[in-house]
Amino acid sequence: MSPQSWSKEAALGVLATTRVEPGPVLISLQALQQHFGYVPQEAIALVADACNVSRADVHGVLTFYHDLLTSPQPRNTVRLCAAEACQAVGSRELAKALEESGMVEIEKTYCFGNCALGPSAVVKGRLLGRATVESVLAAIEVGVMT
């Protein structure tokens, strides 16, 4: 599903589907991110009310998990692993080539747990192994979705 524009009504609809145990705060934040592409600041109070926790608790979860985004991401952001195993098989060179293409914005990340198939990248929520400039750009063009 493509990210939707923020609206309180849509957020309340998303939250109504997430009241399951365990971890309702994290599940709620993940569901909102799935729906909107990030977790808007305005959603913190809604999640706190829905999960019966403080806003500080929600903020703590939101800022603890690196994968939870607090702002919209540029359309063609590629998360590229910059950890040792991927560096050993060319992630730095791949990052440079992708940046030079002018078609993507690189976000460095440290290990996707896909070390044996490096360089590893995530494009539109989908993990790519043995990533190349061509495979990353192809994944962007075909609109690989989560």
Residue with Cβ nearer ligand FES (11 or 86): 86
Residue with Cβ nearer ligand FES (33 or 114): 114
AA letter at 121:
A
Interface positions with ligand FES (CB under 6 A): 81, 83-86, 111-112, 114-115, 118, 120
- The sheet with strand 77-81 has its strands ordered as 105-109, 77-81, 121-123, 126-128
Residue with Cβ nearer ligand FES (85 or 133): 85
Min dist CB 113 to ligand FES, Å, is 6
Distances (CA, A) of 106 to 11, 17, 79: 29, 33, 6
Min dist CB 68 to ligand FES, Å, is 20
CB-CB contact of 6 with 36 (8 Å): yes
Q: Of all helices (H) and strands (E), which one includes residue 127?
A: strand 126-128
Min dist CB 29 to ligand FES, Å, is 24
Min dist CB 15 to ligand FES, Å, is 33
CB-CB contact of 29 with 47 (8 Å): yes
CB-CB contact of 123 with 140 (8 Å): yes
Residue with Cβ nearer ligand FES (18 or 109): 109
